[in-house]
Copies of this chain bind each other. A is one copy, B any other.
Amino acid sequence: MQSVRLLMIGLGNVGQGLLTILIEQEQSLRQYGLNFSVVGVNDLRLGSLADPRGLSLPDLLAAAAQGDLNRVAAEKKGLSVEDMLEQVDYDVLVEASYTNLQSGEPATGYIRKAVSSRKHVVTTNKGPIALHYPELQSLAEQNGVRIGFEGTVMSGTPAIFLGMNWLKAAGIQRIQGILNGTTNFILTKMEEGMEYAEALAEAQRLGYAEADPTGDVEGYDAAGKVVILSNVLMGHSIAMGEVDRQGITHLTSADIRDAQRAGQRWKLIGTIEAVEGTIRASVKPRMLPLSHPLAQVMGATNAITYTTRYLGEVTLIGAGAGRLQTGYALLADLLSIYRRESS
């Protein structure tokens, strides 16, 4: 039985999703020979706990739902993240704090620190991976540890896993995807007859869009994913600023209706393409014919089409967000690290 001690930064929806799965799957994980414990949690809003004997996962989950970790039994309370990273004995940093696509901080600093201390990292945080992947990856290799980041693109729908472990060797020539669920939901509602503002309000009501929706509707979130896919799958490091980015805020109901009349549909499409030895990356609304595999992906669902030398087009469709979906991405990354170690 291998004991894996997790240090969790961020216990929002994603962290809680992981806890839910760890609790439900405890028995089957033991059958894999893995015993996960959480030896530290730090959440900006909920509080901070650490205990080398492991915290009670059901207690953590219940306390998180009630908005305060303080009632959970723990040896130490109130440690800062920095102190935790120094003082707590752990095996994997689970980084699920808030996303910052300008600096990638503070998450990048946490990951750098963990990797430098020879700890594995699993994260769903786009910031560090979009902005600092080459540096972090090479630091991880130097230290003999791994960074899992499946959840940064399409939550637990395995866009990155499939790309790295199957499609890369088939020769990826182009990647196109609906990589942001909020904008796809808004476009779907507009096609059903809503104006942009009304559709955005509906997305906000359902929790798909944040109070400040800029990151989604102006295409920054999708651009971050485009950068990640380019760096990881196309072997080409590009920066956020190199993505030719345009959001959906200028699209009107009239545009949507014009497309419908032409048998087409507007989608916000992220594209990464190898062109004459370089990479062309963009996020743009595109009018697709209804026969295009991405044209049929409606609502908050995400999808990605890889065009490859040996397999032609391979399309993967699935959730782009969600508590359990993204929590599962973290678990799958953990399993991938420990399966490889034990094989």
Note all chain B residues with C-beta closer than 8 A to A328.
Answer: 170, 310-311
Q: Is the CB of B319 within 8 A of A317?
A: no
Task: Write the nearest CB–CB distance from A305 to chain B, whole angstroms.
Answer: 8
Query: Is A44 in contact with chain B by the CB < 8 A criterion?
Result: no
Q: Is the CB of A315 within 8 A of B318?
A: yes
- Residues 298-323 of A, flagged 1 when their CB comes within 8 A of B and 0 if not, give 10000000000011111111110010
Query: Is A3 in contact with chain B by the CB < 8 A criterion?
Result: no
Q: Is the CB of B315 within 8 A of A319?
A: no
Q: Is the CB of A332 within 8 A of B166?
A: yes
**Closest B residue by C-beta to A29:** B169
Q: Complex formed: what's the CA distance from A233 to B25 in Å? A: 18
Stretch at the interface among A79-87, A104-112, A154-162, A236-244: A154-162
Note all chain B residues with C-beta closer than 8 A to A278.
Answer: none
Q: Complex formed: what's the CA distance from A279 to B337 in Å? A: 32
Query: Is A66 in contact with chain B by the CB < 8 A criterion?
Result: no
Q: Is the CB of B310 within 8 A of A156?
A: yes
Count identical subunits in the complex. 2
Q: Is the CB of B343 within 8 A of A325?
A: no
Q: Is the CB of A314 within 8 A of B166?
A: no
Q: Is the CB of A169 within 8 A of B312?
A: no
Q: Is the CB of A21 within 8 A of B310?
A: yes
Q: Is the CB of B313 within 8 A of A318?
A: yes
A314-B311 CB under 8 A given contacts A158-B162, A162-B162, A170-B328:
no
Note all chain B residues with C-beta closer than 8 A to A293.
Answer: 296, 317
Task: Write the nearest CB–CB distance from A41 to chain B, whole angstroms.
Answer: 21
Note all chain B residues with C-beta closer than 8 A to A155.
Answer: 311
Q: Complex formed: what's the CA distance from A325 to B25 in Å? A: 36
Q: Is the CB of A315 within 8 A of B317?
A: yes
**Closest B residue by C-beta to A318:** B314
Note all chain B residues with C-beta closer than 8 A to A310.
Answer: 21, 156, 324-325, 327-328
- Residues 7-21 of A, flagged 1 when their CB comes within 8 A of B and 0 if not, give 000000000000001
Interface residues of A in 116-155 (CB under 8 A from B): 155
Note all chain B residues with C-beta closer than 8 A to A298.
Answer: 291
**Which of A21, A156, A331 lies at the interface centre, i.e. has the most chain B CB atoms within 10 A of its CB?**
A156
Task: Write the nearest CB–CB distance from A86 to chain B, whole angstroms.
Answer: 32
Cβ contact of A157, chosen from B156, B314, B324, cutoff 8 A: B314
**Closest B residue by C-beta to A293:** B317
Q: Is the CB of A311 within 8 A of B319?
A: yes
Q: Is the CB of A161 within 8 A of B166?
A: yes
Task: Write the nearest CB–CB distance from A8 to chain B, whole angstroms.
Answer: 18
Note all chain B residues with C-beta closer than 8 A to A335.
Answer: 169
Note all chain B residues with C-beta closer than 8 A to A71.
Answer: none
Query: Is A261 in contact with chain B by the CB < 8 A criterion?
Result: no
- Residues 169-199 of A, flagged 1 when their CB comes within 8 A of B and 0 if not, give 1100000000000000000000000000000
Further contacts, 4 of them, CB under 8 A, given A21-B310, A162-B162, A316-B316: A158-B166, A311-B324, A311-B325, A313-B318
Per CB-CB distance, the 7 closest pairs between chain A and chain B, nearest first, are A315-B317, A314-B318, A310-B328, A296-B296, A158-B166, A310-B324, A156-B311
A interface residues with partner B (beta carbon < 8 Å): 21, 25, 28, 155-158, 161-162, 165-166, 169-170, 291, 293, 296, 298, 310-319, 322, 324-325, 327-328, 331-332, 335, 340, 343
